[in-house]
Amino acid sequence: MKTKFKGFILLLIGIGQQFALYYNEIGWTRRMFILFYVMVIRRRGRGVLFGVENEKTNFWR
């Protein structure tokens, strides 16, 4: 499941780069948003994906 999720995120980043080629501003903001989204998921761990409460999710509350 983790590898599929990583592949999905890589696909999203690739799509964001394609958008950056055609629409510079929109594509760039989308790519930055995706990078931020990946960082948040890495920090919160699986708690976000499965709604599990742990110390990492409590850090944001």
Q: Transcribe the chain into DSSP letters.
A: -HHHHHHHHHHHHHHHHHHHHHSHHHHHHHHHHHHHHHHHHHHHTHHHHHT---HHHHHT-
Alpha carbon of 55 to those of 25, 31, 33, 52: distances in Å?
37, 29, 25, 10
pLDDT per position as a tens digit, 24-53: 665 567 777 777 777 776 666 555 555 555
pLDDT at site 61 = 45
Reported as a single tens digit per residue, the pLDDT across 5-15 is 888 888 877 87
How many residues in total does the chain contain? 61
Q: Name the pLDDT band for 21 (thresholds 50, 70, 90).
A: low
Residue 50's pLDDT is 52
Domain that holds residue 35: 2-59
Our count of domains for the chain comes to 1
